[in-house]
Amino acid sequence: MASNLAAGFTCHANGESTPGRGSSSGRSRRHRSESESDVGPTDKSLARLCSRDEEERAAALEELSRGVLVCLELDRPGSAQLSKQTLLHLLRLSRSCPLQEVRGRATELLRTAQEQGVEVPRALASGPSSFIPAKEILKQGLDQDILIESFLSLGRVDHITMVMALHPAYLSCFLRTQHALLEMDGPLPRHWRHYIAVMAAARHQCSYQVQQHSAGFLEAGGEESWLSGLEHAPTKLRSLQTLNKLLAHRPWLITQQHIQELVCPGAEPRWSFAELIHAVVLMAHAHSLCSFVWGCSLNPEPDHIGGYTFQLPSPRRQARGKSMMEVEVLMQRMVELQQQEEECTQEEMVTRFERERSESIPTAVVRGAPPDLVLRLVEEPEFRYEDFAPKGEQSPPTMRAQDYSWEDHGFSLVNRLLPDMGQLLDEKFQVVSNLTYNRMAMHEGVDTHTLRKALWNYIHCLYGIRYDDYDYGSVNVLLERSLKVFVKTMACHPEQTTAHIYHAFWRHFRHSEKVHANLIVMEARLQAALLYTLRAITHYMR
């Protein structure tokens, strides 16, 4: 299956070169002109590096090396040079490939190119997250089985996967669900799926996901013009905008009228129920993943805009240490709640729920204007989250979990209209709800069930969902204010998450435990948004 070398590696004709710094070899650095266009199908040619056959991978690696060296030898005026795209592929492989032989060879080829006078890119970030030290995320190394499987299946190990690998059981479920949503057989074309995810991620100014799904959209055959603005996309996709903004920011406002406008026989263009469910799950998945991306402050991928530079590095600043605090008080509160025998009246339970959902939690952080690649894909960017129950205002009716729940209603509807997706989502919800290592900070053998349940129910409370059999007084006992600030920011307007908000809560906990909290927020938010939309669909179908 050996392919032609010239087709496998993108070289370019040397045009005018910008004078650069001298290299150790005495050559001037060669720059790639921005006007040059890519020649070879780099993505496809490098796909053989992901083969499960070791001999196939070895052959692809040798082909990669020969192709790069061929390009480096052609440094005569009017000949060829390595393209920017190929250099960025090598950078990505050198930083994140879990196969040591591929990672090492990519690093070696970049070094060789630099020695030959080629100006090579470097990653701007030292790791996947700006909140979590790289050594904490990669404590188990890149060569973990789950990361190798991700690379062989998907062709890359992105920063989301690296951080989630702190919790392998969850990551497995997440990757299966995302793969089914984006790649498996379904009612929506593959390029539409990525475009819908782009539209959804743009609502939260998440350039990380916008870039990721824009690349997937183009790879699936999408028209590049669609990415220059919503007005270039088909009318049918644009008709999702109202549902998209409500699902992202105020899902409790979604009614059967919104569903009717998309699926009724007179709608033009009309969505089938299967197509609509697919689109809804895609949007909700992307919205909730924005919470994780912002909540962990994921850095741009090394081959994405903002993730690399061709400039020399500047001196590093020393990271500041974090303070420690005692955890025994929280543990004691958890034990007391588990042993508590007092029973509250239903009226008191409702009062405690209302107290939690109407509590004023400040989250007024203002970011700069989002980048143009995001802004041009958002309709009504000023439409944002507002508290479900602002003080002094009439609030929408609370959704009682006993009246419409995932287990009794949502699961079966999704599974009926989008086969297997209900099962995949349910497995993910179950795994994150039950995920525990029976430890808390420096303590082992701890039952964290009450804390995990308080987190989940607090997020649903923020979205106006009440469980009749849950005492919301537990939320106030177990969730300190700094944690509430983080959870509400991440669940409701994640683009406003800051390093201060992240580091202020659970200062005595491991980063992996904070990532665990992020996963709970992400999945609880996802389920809440789905419940409101699925309820509206159910009401319309009656």
Structure tokens at 151: 């690379």
Q: Among candidates 448, 461, 424, which has minimal Cα distance to 516?
A: 448
CB 210 within 8 A of CB 169: no
CB 468 within 8 A of CB 346: yes
Tell me: cis bond preceding 269? Omega within 30 of 0 counts.
Answer: yes
Please tell me whether residue 189 adopts helix, strand or coil conformation: coil
Structure tokens at 126: 């030292």
Structure tokens at 94: 């050198």
CB 160 within 8 A of CB 293: yes
Is residue 461 annotated as part of the catalytic site, yes or no? no
**Exposed/middle/buried for 17, CB within 10 Å: 0-12, 13-18, 19+?**
middle
Residue with tokens 């949502």: 410
Partners of 443 in the β-ladder: 440
Q: Among candidates 536, 485, 483, 530, which has minimal Cα distance to 288?
A: 530
Query: What whole-number distance in Å separates Cα of residue 207 and Cα of residue 18?
Result: 30
Query: What whole-number distance in Å separates Cα of residue 46 and Cα of residue 57?
Result: 10
DSSP letter assigned to residue 370: P
CB atoms within 10 A of CB 383: 15
Query: What whole-number distance in Å separates Cα of residue 493 and Cα of residue 384?
Result: 8
Structure tokens at 49: 């590096």
What is the SS3 string spanning 10-31?
Answer: CEEECCCCCCCCECCCCCECEC
Query: What whole-number distance in Å separates Cα of residue 42 and Cα of residue 98?
Result: 20
Report residue 140: phi and psi, to 5°: -85, 0
Q: Among candidates 30, 262, 289, 301, which has minimal Cα distance to 157?
A: 301
Please tell me whether residue 211 adopts helix, strand or coil conformation: helix
CB atoms within 10 A of CB 203: 26
Catalytic residue selected from 206, 290, 296, 492: 206
Helix segments in 328-436, DSSP class H? 328-339, 346-357, 372-375, 411-417, 421-434
Helix segments in 141-189, DSSP class H? 145-154, 159-164, 168-182
How far from 355 is each of 129, 402, 453, 475, CA to CA, in Å? 35, 20, 18, 11
Report residue 35: phi and psi, to 5°: -80, -10
Q: Among candidates 528, 526, 522, 519, which has minimal Cα distance to 170?
A: 519
Which residues are catalytically annotated? Answer: 206
